[in-house]
Amino acid sequence: MQKIVIGNSDIKTGKLGLGTNKVGGHNLFSGLNDRAGADVITTALDSGIQMLDTAYMYGLGQSETIIGDVLRQYNRSDIILATKAAQDPDHDLTFNNDPEFLRRAVDQALERLKTDYIDIFYIHFPDDNTPKDKAVAALSELKAQGKIRAIGLSNFTLDQIKEANVNHDIDIVEDHYSLVHRDAEQSLWPYLKAHHITFVPYFPLAQGLLTGRYRQEDQPKFKQYPVAKYQHIMSALEDLKTIANQHAATIAQVVLAWYMTNPDIGVVIPGARDAQQVQDNAKAALLTLTSDEYDDIDRLFQGF
């Protein structure tokens, strides 16, 4: 699998990772099963996926705990663990970026993950009060102590990223991005590229919409896309299916391969509810799109 280096850190990882909000994320989704969640993790690691993207918020620690249990069967140094915190359990999960809170959050995540270092630690959301450079300074100290290897931000605006990055400490940014939500290309990418900051898109499959499994009549499930826009997505997916068929691949695999081909995208972290979805998505790493196919897909999703 193609590898990249995360920001200015010494972390090297494959371009296909795994999102784990459906591993133990009972507070966010219904119908989850922790055994299936553990299977999602083992299937990903056994398929050559290295980066696991978790957060305190996924099950209020449960996702990290499940991952920590599974990791005992693996060589820690083969795995890139990314986690996040900001929701303060002592204050109704309001966002907290206070240095003291971040230090405690990292220590508690280390315990749940049963490891002595976290590869990537993200501030999950900005808070209203903490100066961004102060919050990042606390993470730089943790990096110097070896508790984390790279510093990340998630859900920060460009101005907030700039404020946080005054000392060039930020390695990675995670934000909403997919072929049907392309704002970050204009709003974030020019700054990130200029500052060697890796970009990780969340919701890469638009929460399942970009797998091609939904039909026109499912539009009410995706209210963020008005009917005409949703129709545009359905017809673009139809065209994308033709490309997928030429590779004997699925729509989801082609979408994931498109992200992996895009030099402005770092690691792609599709989420999965079960092992089968992970197995299907992992095959995207074997797919090579021609430059014409890459451009055609780019054109199909212009205007999002």
Total residues interacting with ligand NAP, rule: CB under 6 A: 26
Q: Which residue of this chain has its Cβ atom nearest to ligand NAP in the complex?
A: 271
Q: By CB under 6 A, is residue 258 in contact with ligand NAP?
A: no
Q: By CB under 6 A, is residue 97 in contact with ligand NAP?
A: no
DSSP single-letter state for residue 273 = S
Residue among 170, 208, 284, 293 that touches ligand NAP (CB under 6 A): 208
Q: By CB under 6 A, is residue 119 in contact with ligand NAP?
A: no
Residue closer to ligand NAP (CB basis): 95 or 202: 202
Q: Which two tokens stand for residue 256?
A: 């994931």
Residue among 15, 22, 143, 181 that touches ligand NAP (CB under 6 A): 22
Beta bridge partners of 3: 14
CB 32 → ligand NAP: shortest distance, Å? 9
Residue closer to ligand NAP (CB basis): 144 or 155: 155
| Residue located via tokens 């989420």 | 271
How does DSSP assign 94-106, residue by residue? EE---HHHHHHHH
**Torsion sign (Cα): 30, 33, 37, 39:** negative
Q: By CB under 6 A, is residue 171 in contact with ligand NAP?
A: no
Which candidate in 56, 58, 202, 230 is catalytic? 58
Under 8 Å between Cβ of 214 and 244: no
CB 269 → ligand NAP: shortest distance, Å? 5
Beta bridge partners of 268: 16
Q: Is 117 a catalytic residue?
A: no
Residue among 43, 96, 115, 281 that touches ligand NAP (CB under 6 A): 281
Q: By CB under 6 A, is residue 174 in contact with ligand NAP?
A: yes
Residue among 271, 275, 284, 285 that touches ligand NAP (CB under 6 A): 271
Q: By CB under 6 A, is residue 42 in contact with ligand NAP?
A: no
Q: By CB under 6 A, is residue 64 in contact with ligand NAP?
A: no
Q: By CB under 6 A, is residue 260 in contact with ligand NAP?
A: no
Q: Which two tokens stand for residue 227?
A: 């009917």
Closest alpha carbon to 19 in 281, 287, 237, 265: 281
CA-to-CA distance for 84 and 64, rounded, in angstroms? 10
Residue count of the chain: 304
Closest alpha carbon to 67 in 9, 25, 12, 11: 25
CA-to-CA distance for 257 and 262, rounded, in angstroms? 9
**Torsion sign (Cα): 199, 94, 29, 59:** positive
Contacting range for ligand NAP; rule: CB under 6 A; set: 5-13, 19-27, 69-77, 105-113: 19-27
Q: By CB under 6 A, is residue 61 in contact with ligand NAP?
A: no
Residue closer to ligand NAP (CB basis): 251 or 291: 251
CB within 8 Å of 224: residues ≥ 6 apart? none
Under 8 Å between Cβ of 216 and 226: no
Residue closer to ligand NAP (CB basis): 145 or 187: 187
Residue among 83, 165, 270, 287 that touches ligand NAP (CB under 6 A): 270
Residue among 76, 104, 273, 283 that touches ligand NAP (CB under 6 A): 273
CA-to-CA distance for 138 and 128, rounded, in angstroms? 17
Residues with catalytic roles: 58
**Residues near ligand NAP (CB under 6 A):** 19-22, 53, 154-155, 174, 202-208, 211, 213, 252, 269-273, 277, 280-281
